[in-house]
A = this chain, B = another copy of it.
Amino acid sequence: MKLKVKVMNYETGNKKDVIVNYNDSLELGQKAGERIRIKNIKSKSIEDKYWVAILEIDHSNSIVQPGEIGISLDILKEKKDIKEGVMLSIKPADPPESFMFIQKKIKANKLTGEEINKIINDAVSGALSRIELAAFITAVAINGMDNDEMTALTLAEARSGEIFNFGTDVFDKHSTGGVPGNKVSLIIVPIVAAAGLTIPKSSTRAITSPSGTADSMEVLAPVAFEYEKLKEIVSKENACIIWGGALNTAPADNILIEIERPLHMDPIGLMIPSILTKKLSLGVKKLVLDIPCGPGTKFPTANNGKEFAYIFKEIAKNVGIEAECALTLAHQPIGHAIGPALEAREALTLLMDYSVGPNSLIEKSTDLAGILLEMGGKAQHGMGQTLAKEILRSGKAYEKMVKIIEAQGGNHDIQPHEIEIGPYEKEFHAIKAGHITEVNNKIINLIAKAAGCPHSKKSGVEIFKKQGARIKEGDLIFKIYSDSQTKLKRAEKIYNSTGGPIILGGMMIERI
Contact = CB atoms under 8 A, between A and B. Distances in A.
A258 B60 contact: no
Contact of A258 (B32, B137, B263, B265): B32
B29 A449 contact: yes
A313 interface: no
A442 to B, nearest CB: 13
Contacts of A58: 11-12
A8 B142 CA distance: 38
B262 A34 contact: yes
Contacts of A11: 58-60, 62-63
A103 interface: yes
A396 B62 CA distance: 48
Contact of A13 (B59, B103, B455): B59
A135 B132 contact: no
Identical subunits present: 2
A129 interface: yes
Given A31-B262, A138-B106, A12 B62 contact: no
Interface residues of A, number: 50
Contacts of A63: 9-12
Contacts of A129: 262
A108 B108 CA distance: 14
A57 B454 CA distance: 18
Given A27-B455, A32-B13, A259 B131 contact: yes
Interface in A111-141: 129-132, 134-135, 137-139, 141
Q: Which of A27, A57, A132 has the most CB of B within 10 A?
A: A132
Interface in A424-460: 449, 454-455
A142 B141 CA distance: 11
Q: Which of A13, A130, A134, A137 has the most CB of B within 10 A?
A: A134
A26 B207 CA distance: 11
A237 interface: no
A261 interface: yes
B13 A132 contact: no
Contacts of A34: 261-262
Nearest to A490: B91
B258 A33 contact: yes
Interface string A21-41: 000001101011110000000
Contacts of A10: 8, 10, 63
A12 B27 contact: no
A131 B137 CA distance: 10
Nearest to A9: B63
A455 B57 CA distance: 16
A239 interface: no
A27 B13 CA distance: 19
Interface in A304-355: none
A499 interface: no
Contact of A131 (B57, B95, B108, B262): B262
A137 B33 CA distance: 15
A264 B63 CA distance: 28
Contact of A33 (B135, B139, B261): B261
A259 B10 CA distance: 23
A471 interface: no
Given A12-B32, A62-B73, 20 more contacts: A8-B10, A10-B10, A12-B59, A13-B59, A27-B455, A31-B258, A32-B258, A60-B73, A95-B264, A106-B142, A106-B265, A108-B142, A130-B131, A130-B134, A131-B134, A131-B259, A134-B138, A135-B138, A138-B139, A142-B143
In order of increasing CB-CB distance, the 5 nearest A-B pairs are A33-B262, A131-B134, A134-B134, A138-B138, A135-B138
6 contacts: A12-B57, A29-B449, A33-B259, A130-B130, A134-B134, A139-B142
Interface of A: 8-13, 19, 26-27, 29, 31-34, 56-60, 62-63, 73, 95, 99, 103, 106, 108, 129-132, 134-135, 137-139, 141-143, 207, 258-259, 261-265, 449, 454-455
